[in-house]
Amino acid sequence: GTSLNQLLVSKGKKFWGTAADANTINIAANSAVIVSQFGAVTPENSMKWDATEPSRGSFSFSGSDFLVNWAVTNGKLIRGHTLVWHSQLPSWVSAITDKTTLTSVIQNHISNVAGRYKGKVYGELWDVCNEIFNEDGTLRSSVFSNVLGESFVTIAYEAARASDPTAKLYLNDYNLDSDNAKLRGLVALVGRVNAGTKLIDGLGTQMHLSQGGTGGVKAALTALAATGLDVAITELDIEGAVPSDYTTVINACVATPNCVSITSWGVSDPNSWRASSSPLLFDASYKPKPAYTAIVQAL
């Protein structure tokens, strides 16, 4: 039979995945759709800092182990998400004020979380840093940039490489949906970080879009791909989508050789973090919506 994953793989891409965690996998109709339609899972919340290291040096992996074990059992790839992010960050991290402490805290967090899942699953990928840019392309203010400056990026990628040497390491952000200032700032930083050793392997564009907001997507993917790195659509959802919004995005990825994968940020509208705007491909009964049918025709 056809599935979103098989159809995208038939176009030379690696997978079409979805966000998941225990709360959605435990809905039988939802996990049935993941099993039949998707080739990978991203933990929606369970690998974030607040979930994995709520207090310093005290790790908690029940949610992430559940997701990883489910993926292994069901033959799904995994996108690790995410190691260094200003949000869903415990206050004990935000309170750190000195470079030496914050550096070792970042390194210890990454070696424990990325190290735990090292080599677990073929094709493992990590969003190492997430949402580190302002809209004008400068570095976002966070405990990481405020204490360490831009060096936190290299510290994080070096730690991730050491913890899981074969993983593909991504830099992930939102509003990279046209060839804009934020995208250019990201590309420039990647050039600096990768100037010696290549540390960043891939660029993730979240693509939390709105109806009619897809006009710049092809140009954005082309600009990201011009780095020569892999490019992935990592959190796709489209508020108020009409089917052509979705086909515009999918066709843009298919037409961009370096665009390697697509991940939807969930399966069914009522379980979405943007639930009020019906942004996903399956309805409240876990039935495919018109956008799904349009995508299958486009692929």
User: What counts of helices (H) and strands (E) characterise the chain?
Assistant: 13, 9
CA distance 143 to 158: 19
Nearer to ligand XIL, 80 or 185 (CB): 80
Identity of the residue, 77 or 280, whose beta carbon is nearer to ligand XIL in the bound complex: 280
- One-letter amino acid of 274: R
Asked if residues 41 and 20 have their Cβ atoms less than 8 Å apart, the reply is yes
**In sequence order, which ranges of 18-58 are alpha helices (DSSP H)?**
22-25, 28-37, 49-52
Site of interaction with ligand XIL (CB under 6 A): 44-45, 130, 206, 235, 273
Q: How far is the CB of 262 from ligand XIL (least distance, A)?
A: 15
Taking the least distance from each CB to ligand XIL, the nearer of 24 and 258 is 24
Specify the residue, 235 or 269, whose C-beta has the smaller distance to ligand XIL. 235
Q: Give me the least distance between CB of 206 and ligand XIL, in Å please.
A: 6
Cα–Cα dist 102/264, whole Å: 33
Nearest approach in angstroms of CB 265 to ligand XIL is 6
Residues marked as catalytic? 131, 235
Please write down the long-range contacts of 1-6, taking CB distance under 8 Å and 24 or more positions apart: 1/36, 2/296, 3/36, 3/37, 3/38, 4/37, 4/38, 4/281, 4/292, 4/295, 4/296, 4/299, 5/37, 5/38, 5/39, 5/40
For residues 137 and 117, give the distance between their C-alpha atoms in angstroms, rounded to a whole number: 32
Minimum distance, C-beta of residue 139 to ligand XIL, in the bound complex (Å): 17
**What kind and span of H or E run contains 264?**
strand 259-264
**Of 130 and 258, which CB lies nearer to ligand XIL in the complex structure?**
130
Minimum Å gap between C-beta 239 and ligand XIL is: 13
